Structure 1
Amino acid sequence: MSNRSQLASWQALKESAAQMKQTHLKTLFAQDDSRFDAFSTQIPGVLFDYSKQRIDKNTFAQLIELANECDIATWRDKMFSGEKINITEERSVLHTALRNRAHTPLVVDGEDVTQAVDNELAKIKAFVEKVRSGQWLGYTGKAVKDVVSIGVGGSNLGPQMATEALKALADDTLNVHYVSNADGVQIASVLKAIDPETTLFVISSKTFTTSETMTNAKTAVEWFLQTAKDDSTIAKHFVAVSTNLEKTAAFGISDENVFTMWDWVGGRFSLWSAIGLPIALYLGFDAFEAILEGAFEVDEHFKTAPFEQNIPLIMALLSVWNTSFLDFTSQAILPYDQALHMLPAYLQQGEMESNGKHVNFAGETVPYTTVPIIWGMTGINGQHAFYQCLHQGNVIVPADFIASVKPQVAVDKHHDILLSNFLAQTEAMMSGVDAQQVTEDLAAKGKTQAQIDELLNHKIHQGNRPTTSILLDTVDAKTVGRLIALYEHKIFCQGIILEICSFDQWGVELGKGLASKIESELTDDSVKHAHDSSTNGLMAYYKQHRTQ
């Protein structure tokens, strides 16, 4: 069996990890006044500071060598050129082609992908302008006021995260609502707030068979027809993002109102496609195009920057270092801009659905931890929730701190207060507070030695908690595109370094298949499938009590 742990660079990193576990970040900073200059880099609109990670120059060089030994450059070229690097599904991985602003031709399986994408973007632009200008009319002749996006997973999280991130910049031409949960509470609350005469539904499902999405879509159309009465009116209020024209037509959606996807776009990488239609409707096509442009800038950086300044690659190397070598099994995403409050959930899906695997390209079990558990929330709220554990808990959680220089909305000194917290937290995570500092502080406050002895251990902060700081110029459409693309390419590099298939999702498919079987049993007593005693007991209890 062959795997990455047998590489010379991997073995060297194991030795460095043993040494680094005994080294404090304060010591590393004390030994090198130029540490920030050595371990930070910039691209337009983004400062990336990883100097508070537990690495030194020797470790960093070994990480770069690991990237070389894993042949990152060749794999990167394979992805951008359309080779089928999704090996378990024999598919290309071309979300980058969706934002190719250079419009260079790219032929895959006999099709010019670039031309196909440009054609679809033109169709999206024309549709968006028609809806936003009031030319698109509902069945009673009224213009659209509300858009309801129905999807789940990648068809939901990306667009919703982006519209939340940029809603302060919206012009209020349209309202947008998102429905993803099969729990009827969500769609019921949305339907209460809208008027069927002035609502446009966007149903996003590549196959138009996704259970949660189609359940919500059917509820939406039944609600709509209670008022409209006529099935022919569905075409004026429902559009789709799908590849299944037969099913969209059966639903009542006109073929010209179906926007396409391709099998070389994974759901969690799809907001750049027609899946991003709700973003364009809400913010306008120009803003959607700016998101694409920001991502394209990062694509070019990823393709051309030397490894030592290549931000997505460095992000991936740090994740592998922290997870597979230093044994830190989770990572926090901590945006300090309220606009980015959905980013942790979005990146949780992106990274864990991609790299939450346990076998290598050859299907052999790997002897190292792959993806960390990704979680987080807005930084200020997190400070009053879980930062206590980050500072003094007996687990260490590396964290990405994300903030902007200029606020979306300037309110008095709010942003200065926000950034003071952002900066203070990473410094505190790094340096901590030792026994001498605690003693001196308590003595200055008039505490007796007995009181100091009693409090001392409670107030010590060990520090040495690794963080990365990502400072954005501001949170605008281009920045959102840049930020997402940085993490996308991080995920790709992470997968190559770990030698796992990042672009399939067989764990998701397993759950879908089992749910479909159980659904048939819950709705038809004559259907029986084999289950364990726990599942049988739970099903029996549910069926017995659901009508009581």
Structure 2
Amino acid sequence: MTSVAQSPAWRRLHSHAQRLRQERITSLFDRDARRASEFTAVLEGIRLDYSKQLIDHEGMEMLLGLARQQDLSGWIQRMAAGETLNATEGRAAGHMALRGAAGSRMEVQGVDVMPAVHAVRRRMNAFAERVRSGEWRGYSGQTIQDVVNIGIGGSDFGPRMVREALKDHADGPRVHFVSNVDGAQISGLLRWLDPARTLWIVTSKTFTTQETMTNAHTARRWLVQHAGEAAISRHFVACSTNRAEIERFGIDAANMFEFWDWVGGRYSLWSAVGLPILISVGPERFDELLAGARAMDQHFVSAPLERNLPVLLALLAIWNFNFLDHGTQVVVPYAQRLEKFIGWLQQLELESNGKAVTRDGALVDYRTSVVLWGDVGSNAQHAFFQTLHQGPRVHPVDFILPMQGTPGLEHHHCILVANCLAQSAALMKGKTPEQVREELRGKGLSGEALESAVPHRVFSGNRPSNTLLLPRLDAWHLGALLALYEHRTFVESVIWEINAFDQWGVELGKQLAQDVLRAMDGQDAGLDPSTVALLEQIRQGSQEQA
């Protein structure tokens, strides 16, 4: 099979990129008075401005041509139809069904899954309301004050991020998250939690994930020490598919909320994995979250490629990564409540597209998986923006900005908006040596002192960015934002011809961890010399501490 990098569409883009490297983004504006409006796409008030990208109309047409060559529209329809896209595991990628409206029909591998999806959602809603209203009581008859979700990966990133983003709407029990097998995390919570008023949600599809079950058994022992085995059924519930294991743990099967193998972990916050969100903000807000995602799904499936927000975001990322050779993608939400968004997005992008073989198993001869990083603005300006502006490598940026701020603190929001828009403009415009000289002369500097200062104050500019405006950061727009980036990730995988829905790369380390554990028990595990030496140092360090 011919590599996409050898295809006509790819080669045309490569040649066009060589020409555009000599251009400046500001010059593209000078030649096209309508650029700001023409390089903008809108859905339900969500506005993507990509006019500050180093690309012209011809380049955009070439990118769309690449998408058509790769049959992107066909792949979108196949995902929407619930076909088996994850060939290595024989599974569909059915997460859009989790957002489906009541009464709708969506098939996954030929079966209408909506009755099952809504049956689980009704059970989740009912349980969440019982906890929120105080009807659900702990072993001592007291109401639940704290809820702790134990999970890792997709069973932690998604619900933790949404809980943080919607915390201004939280009106239920306090919700906490334990993910790391480092005992410092769970022990910090156990010091002050009240066992009589704490509900634990163990989130693991198989109920065998090592980190999750280690933490779950620690929480179980803590509860049993305070209240005995009989209390487990009142203080533990499970989001899982393994009924036998949850019953062995002591959880009542009536309090197991299932999800399905066509729900990938990093796409699972819309499923039973979202139970902590439901308990925190209530079913109405959770429905709004789903509705926003559903609107983005419908847009993704039906909008023309040239006006399709996820498609545009993905194609621009590929343009910067594969054709302009920019090594990473920075995402900077100017919204403190999106503090956990970057972690969720890193898992989504890097676990989905961190692949070096195509769907057919051939080694790729082009780069995949844009390394993605970032932080919230304006904090990020005082951390890594120095390298964005003056570092030797160009790192394209997605700026995300809600247009409405915190009520009563409008002045804060004005400053936030000013900083966001100024940073994107500064990345594009830069500052020439001549501009620096004029500025320094105005400050009274001259001669050798002036000239020595110039290089340190020059900004090369011509550094691309997108600006994504949200009307407000509520549940609906958050859902749309998350679905936007989910679909962006899928589009990239289609262009790169890789499977975005498996993650075999996480398995080898898990397997070798079992070998190390056997060695720690004194067994011969066939470890390499470096690992053996490190393990011996750890043993000695542990003995010295004891």
- Tell whether the 8 Å contact from 2:321 to 2:370 is kept in structure 1 after alignment: yes
After superposition, the Cα gap between the structure-2 partners of 1:70 and 1:442, relative to the gap in structure 1 and judged at 3 Å, is same
Name 2:395's counterpart in structure 1: 397
1:369 aligns with 2:367: yes
CA contact (8 A) 1:328 1:372 kept: no
1:202 match: secondary structure: strand
- Residue of structure 1 equivalent to 2:87: 87
The one-letter amino acid paired with 2:117 is V
Equivalent position of 1:493 in the other structure: 491
Give a deviation string over 1:221-274, Cα, whole Å, max 9, x none.
111111102x12100000000010010000000001000010001000000000
C-alpha contact (below 8 Å) 1:17/1:325 kept by paired residues? yes
Q: What is the distance in 1 between the residues matched to 2:318 and 2:410?
A: 41
In structure 1, C-alpha distance between the alignment counterparts of 2:135 and 2:54, rounded to whole Å: 57
Find 1:238's aligned residue among 214, 236, 239: 236
2:135 corresponding residue in structure 1:
135
Q: Confirm or deny: 8 A CA contact 1:399 1:466 kept in the other structure.
A: yes
Mapped to 2, the partners of 1:39 and 1:410 lie a distance apart of 34
Match of 1:316 in 2: 314
Structural mapping, 1:189-208, within 5 Å: 189-208=188-207
Find runs of 4+ consecutive structure 1 residues off by over 6 angstroms.
Answer: none
The structural deviation recorded for 1:411 is: 1.4
Match runs of 1:21-420 below 5 Å:
21-101=21-101, 103-109=103-109, 111-171=111-171, 173-229=172-228, 231-420=229-418
Determine which of 511, 533, 537 is the counterpart of 2:533. 537
Number of the residue aligned with 1:19? 19
Deviations 1:50-73 (A, max 9, x none): 111111000000000011000011
Aligned residue pairs total 544
Relative distance call for 1:101 and 1:254 in structure 2 (3 A) is same
After superposition, the Cα gap between the structure-2 partners of 1:220 and 1:385, relative to the gap in structure 1 and judged at 3 Å, is same
Gaps of 5+ in 2: none
Following superposition, the deviation at residue 409 of structure 1 comes to 4.3
The answer to whether 1:456 aligns with 2:454 is yes
How many angstroms does 1:102 deviate by?
A: 5.7
Distance 1:109 1:62 in 2: 34
Return the letter of the residue paired with 1:534. S
In the alignment, the residues of structure 1 paired with residue 159 and residue 178 of structure 2 have an alpha-carbon distance, to the nearest angstrom, of 12
Moved more, 29-38 or 351-360: 29-38
Structure 2 distance, partners of 1:293, 1:547, is 56
For residue 337 of structure 1, report the CA deviation from its aligned partner: 0.5
The CA RMSD measured in Å over matched residues stands at 1.1
CA contact (8 A) 2:406 2:413 kept: no
- Contact kept in structure 2, 1:404 and 1:471, CA below 8 Å: yes
Q: Secondary structure of 1:401's match?
A: strand
Conserved in 2, the CA contact under 8 Å of 1:168 and 1:408? Answer: no
What is the rounded CA distance, in whole Å, between the counterparts of 2:204 and 2:148 in structure 1? 14
Q: Residue type matched to 1:65 in 2? A: G
CA contact (8 A) 1:408 1:474 kept: no
**Contact 1:142-1:198 within 8 A present in 2 as well:** yes
Q: CA deviation at 1:106?
A: 2.7
One-letter code aligned to 1:151: G
1:109 deviates by: 4.9
Residue 543 of structure 1: CA displacement?
A: 2.1
Task: Measure the CA separation in 1 of the matches of 2:335 and 2:461.
Answer: 25
What SS does structure 2 have at the residue aligned with 1:333? strand
Q: Secondary structure at the match of 2:471?
A: strand
Q: Do 1:176 and 1:282's aligned partners in 2 also have CA atoms closer than 8 Å? A: yes
Distance 1:169 1:133 in 2: 16
Residue 379 of structure 1 aligns to a residue whose secondary structure is coil
Kept after mapping to 2: 8 A contact 1:168/1:409? no
CA 1:77–1:110: 2 relative to 1, 3 Å: closer
Separation in 2, partners of 1:30, 1:404 = 29
Contact preservation (8 Å) 1:261, 1:274: yes
Cα distance in 1 for residues equivalent to 2:396 and 2:456: 22
Distance in 1, Cα, partners of 2:516 & 2:67: 45
Comparing 103-112 with 431-440, which one deviates more in the overlay?
A: 103-112
- What do the CA deviations read for 1:453-507 (whole angstroms, capped 9, x no partner)? 1111111100011111011111110111000000000000000000011100001
Identity %: 44
Secondary structure of the equivalent of 1:30? helix
What is the rounded CA distance, in whole Å, between the counterparts of 1:544 and 1:112 in structure 2?
A: 58
* 1:444 positional shift: 1.5
Aligned-partner residue type, residue 145 of structure 1: Q
* Contact 2:223–2:231 under 8 Å retained in 1: no
TM-score (norm 1): 0.98
Residue type matched to 1:77 in 2?
Answer: Q
The superposition leaves residues 35-86 of structure 1 with CA deviations (integer Å, 9 ceiling, x where unpaired) of 1111111111311111111110000000000110000111111111111000
Residues of 1 paired with 2:530 and 2:16: CA distance? 47
Alpha-carbon distance in structure 1 between the residues aligned to 2:51 and 2:192: 48
Q: Structure 2 CA distance, aligned partners of 1:109 and 1:335?
A: 37
Give the match's secondary structure for 1:84: coil
Contact 2:335/2:401 (8 A) holds in 1: yes
How far the C-alpha of 1:408 sits from its partner, in A, is 3.9
Hey, what's the Cα distance between the residues in 2 that align with 1:103 and 1:398?
42
Which residue of 2 is the match for residue 10 of structure 1? 10
What CA distance in whole angstroms lies between the structure 2 residues aligned with 1:92 and 1:219?
Answer: 35
Amino acid at match of 2:543: T
Report the alpha carbon displacement of residue 412 of structure 1 after superposing the two structures with TM: 4.5
Q: Say whether the 8 Å CA contact 1:439–1:452 is kept in structure 2.
A: yes
User: Residues 336 and 110 from structure 1, CA distance in 2 versus in 1: closer, same or farther, beyond 3 angstroms?
Assistant: closer
- What SS class does the counterpart of residue 368 from structure 2 fall into? coil
Letter in 2 for 1:420: A
Which SS does the other structure have where 2:141 is aligned? coil
Q: How far apart are the structure 1 equivalents of 2:141 and 2:370?
A: 52
Instruction: Assess if the C-alpha contact under 8 Å between 2:144 and 2:197 holds in 1.
Output: yes
Pair 1:273–1:167, CA change in 2 (3 A): same
| Counterpart Cα distance in 1 of 2:452 and 2:163 | 51
Aligned pairs (5 A) from 1:502-541: 502-522=500-520, 524-525=521-522, 527-541=523-537
How far 1:188 moved relative to its partner?
Answer: 0.7
- Structure 1 contact 200–237 (Cα < 8 Å) conserved: yes
1:466 maps to 464
Matches of 1:352 and 1:408 in 2, distance apart? 33
Distance in 2 (alpha carbons) for counterparts of 1:69 and 1:126: 47
| Superposition map of 1:472-491 within 5 A | 472-491=470-489
